[in-house]
């Protein structure tokens, strides 16, 4: 896998994308300084309090209250908001690249098994004294290891460039979160790792789905196309169907677990434990279908 030009190209695109994002932020972003951030935060808080008086859905009201509490805590303790033109701000911004890593890994998952059939090399694997389940597992684990490698590269390169471009000032700055109605200070590193973990769950689910489609249809283009399309349009599909009660059981309604830590659930009544249960059911189903099809289906001579 790692000797292929396509894999090397994806790794270079990831590093190049991080570098381009850092240079653009360094060139065009204007960091706040002095009392400017306090004035902006005071005005923002006043505006949110006015919105609070207008009322709205309970989830929206709770979100406003949490934002107001965090802003007031910052003003009281003189904690400047974390800017994208800072060390942690840049690393936090680059967590968006996890979605790109997901697409790259889907490309790998869609072709790692299907290509064996299209090239005819699957017969060379199956005639070896190795169980089919071992072959399938090795392909799947290799795909996940590729994703893990990309995540490590993302974090290391982002940290390196963040320190070079924006300096390490504010590296001890805390992340503010609301827990049980109280504002608490948390480590920014913990917050970043939590973001990586939550985004990685969506990555693993869609990669497993692409792997399953590849196993069933033995067509890498079909597997990659379907998985990428659903990854990009999943949220839109859920929004179109959100008036139906059963939409909460749809995979894409449960992929974004960050909705339970920052923001409001996409569908009212959904909880973290519910989404984890739904994801676990889908995950096991994807693996069982992949294993059953690969083990039972004959390979044409």
Burial (Cβ within 10 Å: 0-12, 13-18, ≥19) of residue 276: middle
Structure tokens at 148: 């893990």
Please choose, from the candidates 3, 24, 26, 9, the residue with its C-alpha nearest in 3D space to the C-alpha of residue 165: 26
At 242 the pLDDT is: 82
Closest CA to 265 of 203, 176, 273, 257: 257
Q: What is the pLDDT along the chain (301 residues), one digit of tens a residue?
A: 888 899 999 999 999 999 999 999 888 876 555 558 888 888 999 998 888 888 776 667 878 888 899 999 999 988 888 888 889 999 999 999 999 999 999 999 998 888 888 888 888 888 888 898 999 999 999 999 999 999 999 999 999 999 999 888 778 889 988 877 788 888 999 999 999 999 999 999 999 999 999 999 888 899 999 999 999 998 888 888 888 888 899 999 999 888 887 666 777 778 889 999 999 999 999 999 999 999 887 766 4
Q: Which of 224, 196, 267, 262 is nearest to 106 (CA)?
A: 224
Give, in order, the Cα–Cα distances in Å from 146 to each of 32, 74, 102, 149, 193: 39, 40, 10, 5, 18
Q: How confident is the model at residue 30, as a pLDDT?
A: 65
Distance in angstroms (rounded) separating the CA atoms of residues 173 and 268: 34
Q: How many CB atoms lie within 10 A of CB 64?
A: 16
Closest CA to 143 of 183, 173, 104, 177: 104
Backbone torsions φ then ψ of 186, nearest 5 degrees: -125, 160
Q: Which two tokens stand for residue 102?
A: 């997901």
| C-alpha–C-alpha distance, residues 256 and 206, integer Å | 12
- Dist. CA 137–CA 132, nearest whole Å: 9
- Res 154: pLDDT: 97
Q: Are 111 and 215 in contact (CB under 8 A)?
A: no
Placement of tokens 């067509």 in the chain: 219
Ranges of each domain in the chain? 5-32+81-296
- Please return the burial class of 218, using the count of CB atoms within 10 Å of its CB with bins 0-12, 13-18 and 19+: buried
Contacts of 152 (CB under 8 A, 6+ apart): none
What does the pLDDT read at residue 300?
61
């Amino acid at each position: 896998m790692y000797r292929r030009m396509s894999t090397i190209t994806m790794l270079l695109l990831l590093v190049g994308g991080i570098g381009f994002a850092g240079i653009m932020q360094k060139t065009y972003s204007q960091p706040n300084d002095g009392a400017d951030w306090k004035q902006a935060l005071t005005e923002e808080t006043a505006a949110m309090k006015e919105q609070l008086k207008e009322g709205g859905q309970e989830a929206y009201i709770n979100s406003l209250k949490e934002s107001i509490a965090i802003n007031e805590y910052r003003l009281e303790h003189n904690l400047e908001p974390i800017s994208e033109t800072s060390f942690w701000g840049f690393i936090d911004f680059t967590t968006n690249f996890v979605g790109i890593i997901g697409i790259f890994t889907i490309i790998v998952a869609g072709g790692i098994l299907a290509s064996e059939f299209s090239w005819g090399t699957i017969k060379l694997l199956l005639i070896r004294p190795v169980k089919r389940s071992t072959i399938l597992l090795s392909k799947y684990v290799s795909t996940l290891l590729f994703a893990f490698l990309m995540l490590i590269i993302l974090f290391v390169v982002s940290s390196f460039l963040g320190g070079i471009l924006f300096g390490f000032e504010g590296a001890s700055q805390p992340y503010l979160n609301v827990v049980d109605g109280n504002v608490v200070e948390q480590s920014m590193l913990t917050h970043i790792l939590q973001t990586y973990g939550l985004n990685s769950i969506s990555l693993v689910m869609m990669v497993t789905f692409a792997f399953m489609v590849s196993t069933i249809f033995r067509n890498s283009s079909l597997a990659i196309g379907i998985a990428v399309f659903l990854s990009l349009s999943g949220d839109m599909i859920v929004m179109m169907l959100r008036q139906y009660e059963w939409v909460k059981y749809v995979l894409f309604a449960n992929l974004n677990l960050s909705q339970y830590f920052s923001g409001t659930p996409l569908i009212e009544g959904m909880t973290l434990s519910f989404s984890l249960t739904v994801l676990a059911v889908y995950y096991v189903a994807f693996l069982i279908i992949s294993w059953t099809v690969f083990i039972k289906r004959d390979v044409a001579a």
